[in-house]
Amino acid sequence: MTTTYDILLTVDDLQTCFRTEAGLLRAVDGVSFEIPRGQTFALVGESGCGKSVTALSILKLLPPAGISNGLIRLGDDELDRLTDWEMQPVRGGRIGMIFQEPMTSLNPVFTCGAQIVEAIRLHRECSAREARKHAIDLLDQVGIADPAQRMKEYPHQLSGGMRQRVMIAMALSCEPELLIADEPTTALDVTIQAQILELLRKIQRERQLTLLLITHDLAVVAEMADSVGVMYAGTMVERTDVKQLFANPLHPYTQGLFRSLVTMEETRERLDTIPGSVPHLSALPVGCPFHPRCDKGQTDARCATCRPDLREVAPGHFCACYVAPNYDNAEPKP
Amino acid sequence: MICLTVVGFYVVLAIFAPIVLPAWEGSENYDIASQSPSFQHWLGTDAFGRDILTKTLLGARMSLSIAFVVNIIAIPFGMLLGAIAGYFGKWIDDAIVWLFTTLAAIPGLIRIIAIKFAFEETVLFENSPFEIDLGGMVGVYLAITMTFWIGTCRLVRAETMKLRDQDFVLAARAVGRNNWGILTKHIFPNVMHIGIIQMSLGFVGAITMEVMIRYLGLGGSVGTPSWGSMIDGGRTELLAGRPWELISAVVAMFFLILALSLLGDRLRDALDPKLKNA
């Protein structure tokens, strides 16, 4: 189904490791997905499951200890082959990024305006005056009242929501094709979250922007995403479009996530939880990384011996679980 | 503000002293040697019959010029190396840390004396218009400069290591800044306060260091007026019951150092965000 679309971003078999004193840690192990132009793909998972590392690997912004490997294609360009030097025009120019923590992602010693102007002039030949005008426009577009005044203010003078808007304006300054939003609403309170999500949706509509949304909030996924990838311990365990996922989650981990949600319809004494905790990357269990916590209780002998790969168990629905219906008949993903 | 005024007063005196005052070179006059203060010589005369007021002001000029030259070179140098070490890490960091720990391992004054003697006979660009005699004052400048960048380098390195992992540096990389751009546009403005504070404190250090070196009779010819050589010469005068030379040098130095130290403290209070609430 996705083949009829124009694919903007392809990530294939992405592996990212970190050299640590405890040895090589696989933060991301064999993650693959593609995002059609103008759509939103959400990466969901718990803290430390490799969502952010995936995003940083795409931009080649890993810390020095990180090594990544795998195909990353943006449009017709294979980003994984580019050097750091060649990546600089891509960062900001073709891919914009918004970070989780708006409190620290702006430089405290410069005004917001100066930082947006800087981002604009990095990628565009234009005068300071033009850049300033463009920056005011951008601030206006992201819903900041009195943009000319806000330009002159320092980050500490703005609230968290405002700063996140400034970050969005900065990310949009050079009209990127792809916007990576790494938990853009996690640090904000609920009413501001709704506003920021609404803003992202509006911008996406207006600019035909492709969005890679990283979140741990399934409500945000339901609101925003076209398709979803669920990650667990560095691997992608389920990938499908958002309606399928919510109607018919197949992986036990995804099912567990849904069960632990609070709904308005029913009353429960206790919320369901997934037993146990996320394994440390240096001590991943043999076999399926989720099997020690799985409520399907290792019904298949392979659970504890061999890691399941992601297979298309239903049209457009990929799942990495031996217990999933139709798994053994499905072709391993090429 | 008072300290800034005092420092400004010294700077003005140091700049205009040689214009306003009578010539220093060849002003020896043994007929009026070792006089007490009078209307002709407000602070008296030294053992060679030279005016002590003139000598004190020229000493201020010497001290301030050394402090200025040393700090203008050493502080930016220390900041640059510190930022590079802290930002890039790995072997670059190792090399720079090795350099300054090695230099810092030798006690301060001995290090300066050693550098001073090492360059004693060295003359750069000999017989050219740019001839530099490292044995003279330039040697003193060089010796002090070579040790004064270390403290700044350490502080800036530590601060940069902290800043390097901040989100805004990552954000700057995500909009396509290169390493050099991040260093100059994002790291430097955030460590600038360290440089300013270090510079005001460095003035104090450089002045006392210069006085010490000259007191020990190192660097420059004996005739060059300096507070260090005044204190040295004033010793013998003092034994003869004439404290004027010693008092002039010490009092002049006292107020300058006090003013600079206070200025440094005030700058730190104003610029260092961590001390703001203390």
pLDDT, tens only, A181-229? 888 888 788 888 888 888 888 888 888 889 999 988 888 888 888 999 9
Nearest to A99 among B89, B167, B176 (CB): B167
The more confident residue out of B132 and A244 is A244
For residue B175, give the chain A residue with the closest CA.
Answer: A92
Enter the pTM of the model. Answer: 0.76
Subunit contact B167:A101, Cβ cutoff 8 A? yes
Nearest to A92 among B89, B168, B175 (CB): B175
B203 CA: distance to closest CA in chain A (Å):
26
Subunit contact A104:B186, Cβ cutoff 8 A? no
pLDDT, tens only, B117-167? 777 777 777 776 666 666 667 777 777 888 888 889 999 999 999 888 888
The C-alpha angle with vertex B126 and arms to B125 and B130, in degrees rounded to 5, equals 50
Asked if the model's pLDDT at residue A4 lies above 60, the reply is no
Q: Is there a contact between A188 and A161 (Cβ–Cβ < 8 Å)?
A: yes
The pLDDT assigned to A1 comes to 44
Nearest to A91 among B167, B173, B186 (CB): B173
Rounded Cα–Cα distance for residues A215 and A195 (Å): 16
Task: Name every chain A residue with its beta carbon within 8 A of the beta carbon of B176.
Answer: 88-93, 119, 122-123
Task: Name every chain A residue with its beta carbon within 8 A of the beta carbon of B175.
Answer: 91-92, 96, 118-119, 122, 170-171, 173-174
Using pLDDT thresholds of 50, 70 and 90, give the confidence band for residue A298. low
Torsion over CA of A33, A39, A45 and A47, rounded to 10 degrees? 110
pLDDT, tens only, B23-70? 666 667 777 776 777 777 777 777 777 777 888 888 888 888 888 888
pLDDT, tens only, A150-180? 888 888 888 888 888 888 888 888 888 889 9
Subunit contact B186:A107, Cβ cutoff 8 A? yes
Q: Is there a contact between A330 and A318 (Cβ–Cβ < 8 Å)?
A: no
Subunit contact B176:A99, Cβ cutoff 8 A? no
| Both structure tokens of A274 | 């997934």
What ipTM score was computed for the predicted complex, to two decimals? 0.76
What 3-state DSSP class applies to B221?
coil
What 3-state DSSP class applies to A219?
helix
Chain B residues with at least one Cβ partner in A under 8 Å? 89-90, 165-168, 170-178, 181, 185-186, 189-190
Subunit contact A89:B176, Cβ cutoff 8 A? yes
Of the candidate ranges A2-16, B52-66, B127-141, B249-263, the one whose mean pLDDT is the lowest:
B127-141
Subunit contact A59:B174, Cβ cutoff 8 A? yes
